[in-house]
Amino acid sequence: MNKLSLQLMDLLEISLGLDQAYFKHFFEENDSILRLNHYPPCQKPDSTLGTGPHSDPTSLTILHQDQVGGLQVFSDEKWHSIAPIQGAFVVNIGDTFMALTNGVYKSCLHRAVVNNRVVRRSLAFFLCPKMDKPVTPAAGLVNEANPRKYPDFTWATLLEFTQRHYRADMKTLDVFSKWVQEQESTQKSNTLGIYQ
Ligand SMILES: O=C(O)CCC(=O)C(=O)O
Ligand SMILES: [Fe+2]
């Protein structure tokens, strides 16, 4: 999974016109996560969700789902079911990759619904940066037409933030960025205070 995700990073890099293996080096060491989701049958599937709406805070998600179905993606103001295809993975962009590409690639809002008949299982591999590595966009993606959108941050900080602030919309990275900037300016004024 790790190897596949790095190969996908190469392709994404080519699609962005970058030529310095920036992402490959960036993710060479990583703190990726593997998660098994288990959704038992539910008596009230219309009033219950297996996984609530969210965007993955991670960089790239490679999801294997069984043949039951339940994954949905929000696009054009409605939820679309992503029907399982035997032998195929679903690949999602996460918030950290949105930051690394300065907003060129966008994360997507998705959820998992349940049913009242059978168990559903999915296996998600989340490519994540090394915990303490600064997440900063590739230089070639910041310019006058596309100025810097998000501050530098670490995966450890974003992970902790998302565990404390769940959002059922697409605004996680914007709200997190604002929080990081507020923290930085508080730190600056504290430092200035010491020397005043
Ligand atoms: O089970 C699924 O299809 C989606 C799971 C998911 O979105 C996640 O684990 O982040
Ligand atoms: Fe997800």
CATH superfamily of 32-195: B-lactam Antibiotic, Isopenicillin N Synthase; Chain (2.60.120.330)
Distance 194 CA to ligand 1 centre (A): 47
Ligand 1 pocket residue status of 120, Cβ below 6 Å: no
Structure tokens at 119: 């168990």
With beta carbons less than 8 A apart as the criterion, state whether 61 and 124 touch.
yes
**pLDDT tops 80 at residue 192:** no
Summary mean pLDDT of the chain: 94
Residues with CB under 5 A from ligand 2 (ion): 56
Q: Where are the beta strands (DSSP E) in the chain?
A: 33-39, 49-54, 60-65, 71-75, 78-81, 90-93, 110-113, 120-127, 134-135, 153-154
**pLDDT tops 80 at residue 195:** no
Output the residue whose Cα is nearest ligand 1's atom 9: 124
pTM: 0.93
Name which of 15-29, 134-148, 163-177, 178-192 the model is least confident about: 178-192
pLDDT of residue 194: 60
For the stretch 54-109, pLDDT in tens is: 999 999 999 999 999 999 999 999 999 999 999 999 999 999 999 999 999 999 99
Structure tokens at 125: 């591999």
**Residue ranges per domain, the chain?**
32-195
Who has greater pLDDT, 128 or 195? 128
Angstrom distances, CA of residue 147 to CA of 41, 43, 88, 177: 47, 49, 36, 15
Mean local confidence (pLDDT), 142-163: 97
What are the φ/ψ torsions at residue 6 (nearest 5 degrees)? -70, -35
For the stretch 119-140, pLDDT in tens is: 999 999 999 999 999 999 998 9
Give the number of other CB atoms < 10 A from CB of residue 24. Answer: 13
Ligand 1 pocket residue status of 58, Cβ below 6 Å: no
Show Cβ contacts of residue 103 under 8 Å, excluding neighbours closer than 6 positions. 146, 149, 150
**Mutate which of 49, 51, 81, 128 to test ligand 1's pocket (most atoms within 8 Å of Cβ)?**
51
Ligand 1 pocket residue status of 124, Cβ below 6 Å: yes
**pLDDT tops 90 at residue 8:** yes
Output the residue whose Cα is nearest ligand 1's atom 10: 56
